[in-house]
Structure 1
Amino acid sequence: MPDSPKLTARQQQILDLIRSSIERTGAPPTRAEIATELGFRSANAAEEHLQALARKGAIELVGGTSRGIRLKSDTLRSLNASRLQGLGRQALLPLPGIAQLALPLVGRVAAGSPILAQEHIDQTYHVGADMFARQPDYLLKVRGMSMRDAGIFEGDLLAVQKSKEAKNGQIVVARLGDDVTVKRFRKTRGSIELIAENPDFKTIVVEPDQDFELEGVAVGLIRNSLLM
């Protein structure tokens, strides 16, 4: 494994904030959110630090989106080394002496059946309980690129906490008719919207007579590259 990049205290602070945001909401923070959290005068100051982190190889920046920040796989491995030792293609191995969560991995969901039905569970992953700010109930394998600009990609494992309610702006797992989808949630007085984080995908407006149900909210993400 390559050596971790040498970071200044401020750069480490920003990197920790990015990781915390991904664990908490499933998406990296915006420049404006970083500036607010760390007391910068403007988002430009946050951008300068992000550029420095990118030059050091700690992150990758994706143009054209406010949340276009990706943790590099080597950085993820370094940050999670104490929690995710022994990663293999089949499972995250339990660590002695550390509280573990046994999370079912949900693959493709059949139309109209419960998301945690046994036939949908591909395997069980063991992860450190302190990986997530809020405890998830299952992992969902992401399909498609509709949440690309939130840093969620095809094949990633989304950590989901079961919930029938969500706040505006949260990333949710929702059932709409026969489909299960991952989108950003927004509710107004007159409608519910499921918003993609990719301009190639349209916002889904849930009609009052549609079969709609929230399955959970995202509380973290495991990058697919960690499982390679």
Structure 2
Amino acid sequence: MAVKLTERQQQILDLIRNEISRTGFPPTRAEIAHALGFRSANAAEDHLKALAKKGAIELTAGASRGIRLIPASDNGPAHAFDHVSSTLRQMLIPLVGRVAAGSPILAAEHVEREIGIEPSLFSQVPDYLLRVRGLSMRDVGILDGDLLAVKKTPDARNGQIVVARLGDEVTVKRLSRTGNRIELLPENPDFSPIIVTPDDEFSLEGIAVGLIRTTTLQ
């Protein structure tokens, strides 16, 4: 039998699903608090912990926006053995270069190392991780030194966070398309949008599907 959620817990769960569908990322505690009118992010955290206890989500320590949806099941919470087994099913993902989340810089062309990750942490299985530099995407929780999980694709929906290439330079921004006009938008008012002109050599290298925040991988 499925665990019953309160009305507020269902609202939060729906918000998480919608945000992952829209951007590829779960919302932050602050975003949940703002959307639902809580006074502080701590109130959102309390509801998230309750959802985790009921088996609707999984909270991951050390991962920015570390909220993972757990598929609904009529059989109740998964057996502890299943949970332990899932943590062992890691895959090796290459850490490629360092992508600027501010002024674009040249991406390193070699793989620095391979990192073992649990694929279910992300909205889609990433093809690689990119190390972020700068603070132009600060307001969506992408900070200097973070590892951005990227799914390779030459196309993206309007509003998605993308890894874009302009000439030989690479940057992380939010994609904005209006007719034939393309802009790469920062998420920090201290930075200016990048307008892509017809003369620019522009391509999409991938979409962001998650984030790992760590101070141990340098």
For 1:8-87, what aligned pairs fall within 5 Å after superposition?
10=8, 14=12, 18=16, 21=19, 25-26=24-25, 28=27, 46-48=36-38, 50-53=40-43
Instruction: Say whether residues 1:146 and 2:136 are aligned partners.
Output: yes
**1:20 & 1:167 partners in 2: Cα distance?**
15
Match status 1:155 vs 2:145? yes
Greater strand share, structure number: 2
Secondary structure of 1:14's aligned partner: helix
Could you give the per-residue CA deviations for residues 7-29 of structure 1, whole angstroms, max 9, x where no partner exists?
x8846973895599469624626
Q: Percent of counterpart pairs with the same letter? A: 49
In structure 2, the partner of 1:5 is none
Structure 2 counterpart SS, 1:48:
coil
Match for residue 191 of structure 2 among 177, 197, 201: 201
When the two structures are superposed, what TM-score results if normalisation uses the length of structure 1?
0.62
**Runs ≥4 residues deviating over 6 A:** 74-80
In structure 2, the residue matched to 1:184 is 174
More displaced, 16-25 or 218-227? 16-25
The 8 Å contact of residues 26 and 171 in structure 1, kept in 2 or not, is answered as: no
Residue of structure 1 in register with 2:89 after alignment: 99
Is 2:160 aligned against 1:170? yes
- Listed as ranges, the matches of 1:117-128 within 5 Å are 117=109, 119=110, 121-128=111-118
- Quickly say closer, same or farther: Cα 1:12–1:107, change in 2 above 3 A: farther
1:79 Cα offset (Å)? 6.6
Determine whether 1:129 maps to 2:116: no
| SS of corresponding position for 1:141 | strand
Deviates more, 1:124-133 or 1:193-202: 124-133
Question: Within 2, Cα distance between the matches of 1:226 and 1:53?
Answer: 30
Structure 1 counterpart SS, 2:207? strand
Please, which runs of 5 or more residues in structure 1 have no aligned partner? Answer: 1-7, 35-42, 60-70, 81-94
- Distance between the aligned counterparts of 2:189 and 2:152, measured in 1? 28
What is the alpha-carbon distance in structure 2 between the residues aligned to residue 179 and residue 78 of structure 1?
29
* In structure 2, distance between residues paired with 1:16 and 1:112: 37
Describe the shift of the 1:54–1:129 C-alpha distance in structure 2 as closer, same or farther (beyond 3 A): closer
Match of 1:212 among 202, 205, 214: 202
Q: Normalising by structure 2, report the TM-score.
A: 0.65
How many residues get paired? 183
- Give SS of 2:144's match: coil
**What's the C-alpha RMSD, in Å, of the aligned pairs?**
4.3
